[in-house]
Amino acid sequence: MNQTRIEELMKVDLFEALNIDGFSVEKKLEVMDEIAQVAMKGIWLKILENLSEEEQEQLNLLLDKGPSSEELTTFLKTSIPNLENLIKGEIASYKAMLLPPEIN
């Protein structure tokens, strides 16, 4: 997926596109939580794919220590220079799967 398409998809409002903006706040939160969980799993898989075995071991050691979000972010940005683009790409891919064909 090219950068232009990724940026377009990042701007899409999923509630509106999926026609769920009329749902109750509780239902919106439930849907958003499910979407976020699936997206995070995909992001972590991409992160792990982009780490060497040694970096994966370093990540495991870091996670065992219960790092701050700053420590974890620093490690990931150092290990994966294009981390932000990787995350955006994964989110865009997931949004593309969720969107109806007429929007996609």
DSSP string of the chain, one letter each residue:
--HHHHHHHHH--HHHHTT-TTS-HHHHHHHHHHHHHHHHHHHHHHHHHHS-HHHHHHHHHHHHT---HHHHHHHHHHH-TTHHHHHHHHHHHHHHHHS-TTT-
**pTM, 2 dp:** 0.83
Q: Identify the pLDDT of residue 100.
A: 80
Q: Identify the pLDDT of residue 91.
A: 94
Looking at the 3D structure of the chain, how many domains does it have?
1
82 domain-assigned: yes
103 domain-assigned: no
48 domain-assigned: yes
Of 20 and 56, which is predicted with more confidence? 56
pLDDT digits (tens, 9 = 90+) for 27-54: 989 998 999 999 999 999 999 999 999 9
Of 103 and 56, which is predicted with more confidence? 56
Domain that includes residue 11, residue range: 3-98
Q: Is pLDDT of 20 > 90?
A: no
